Amino acid sequence: MPPNRALGEAIALSRTPTLAAALRSQALPAGVGLLLRILASDPGASQEARAMTGLREAELVAAAELYVLQVMLYHGASSRQILGVTPDTDRAVIRAHLRHLLNWLHPDKNTSAWHAAFASRVIAAWRQIDRGLEDREWPRGLAARGPPLARTHRVPWIALPLEAAPKRSARRGAKGLHYFFAGLTLICGVTVPDAVAYEVRQAVLAITVFDSTPAPSTLPAVSGLQ
């Protein structure tokens, strides 16, 4: 049976994870479909891969998953890189890759939030290709973050955003000021002459009363005043 280049690279990556950056910079090898079929739990694919390598099924699944996550679904990958296809790939093959990826990433099989995010990325990549937008050059600065459609298309099982933190009280500063003046009054009553302490206490009392007085629009009406 002829060797599968994509399977060979996946096994090499599982043994040397630092190869991921080099593999990303190269064109996708032939045979990526076999890796996707392994992840989609295709019995025929696992049997074929075992006959090629002599590895156990668990080892093949782990190698295929690491390769797809690190070399195909990484943040900033092109739409065709995500689906594991080239510009001349037949549409039927692209749809098959899409089906295998979503079958693997479906929440019934993988409940991880990361897998849900990858599923959203796969769907966005398919829509890019289906609309003929995969070759469009995105504005500079956006390429590293992926296509804009990845931020607008979501699958139902994506987690909701976190709730906003409660706002801080606006009166916290005023309370601190009152505590400061109260402490100052106490200190003056002990350490300074009575005449000076009296003047400080009167100033503190005036500030406190003024701060606690409601706004003119909220004061009760008093009869007899002009």
Rounded distance, CA 149 to CA 90, Å? 23
Read off the pLDDT of residues 106-155 as tens digits, 9 standing for 90 and up: 877 766 777 788 999 999 999 999 988 865 543 333 333 344 444 444 44
Rounded distance, CA 9 to CA 35, Å? 11
Q: Could you say which of 151, 181, 196 is where a domain stops?
A: 151
Whether residue 132 sits in one domain with residue 59: yes
SS3 5: helix
Whether residue 140 sits in one domain with residue 55: yes
Read off the pLDDT of residues 23-52 as tens digits, 9 standing for 90 and up: 999 999 999 999 999 999 999 999 999 999
Question: Which of 72, 100, 75, 99 is CA-nearest to residue 86?
Answer: 72
Whether residue 199 sits in one domain with residue 111: no
Going from the C-alpha of 199 to that of each of 60, 103, 105, 156, 207, the distances in angstroms are 85, 81, 75, 69, 13
Read off the pLDDT of residues 5-21 as tens digits, 9 standing for 90 and up: 999 999 999 999 999 99
Whether residue 200 sits in one domain with residue 119: no
Whether residue 184 sits in one domain with residue 84: no
Whether residue 52 sits in one domain with residue 127: yes
Q: Give one DSSP letter per residue of 100-126, joined into a string.
A: HHHHHH-TTT---HHHHHHHHHHHHHH
Q: Is residue 205 part of a domain?
A: yes
Rounded distance, CA 7 to CA 48, Å? 11
Q: Is residue 69 part of a domain?
A: yes
Whether residue 11 sits in one domain with residue 41: yes
Whether residue 64 sits in one domain with residue 144: yes
Domain count for the chain, please give it.
2
Whether residue 143 sits in one domain with residue 204: no
Q: Are 78 and 121 in contact (CB under 8 A)?
A: no
Going from the C-alpha of 27 to that of each of 21, 128, 173, 176, the distances in angstroms are 12, 19, 61, 64
SS3 87: coil
Exposed / middle / buried, residue 103 (Cβ in 10 Å: 0-12, 13-18, 19+) = middle
Read off the pLDDT of residues 86-108 as tens digits, 9 standing for 90 and up: 999 999 999 999 999 999 998 77
Whether residue 146 sits in one domain with residue 79: yes
Whether residue 114 sits in one domain with residue 194: no
Rounded distance, CA 84 to CA 92, Å? 13
Residue 181: what pLDDT?
A: 61
Domain residue limits at 182: 172-212
**Model pTM score:** 0.59
Task: Supply the DSSP symbol for 91.
Answer: H
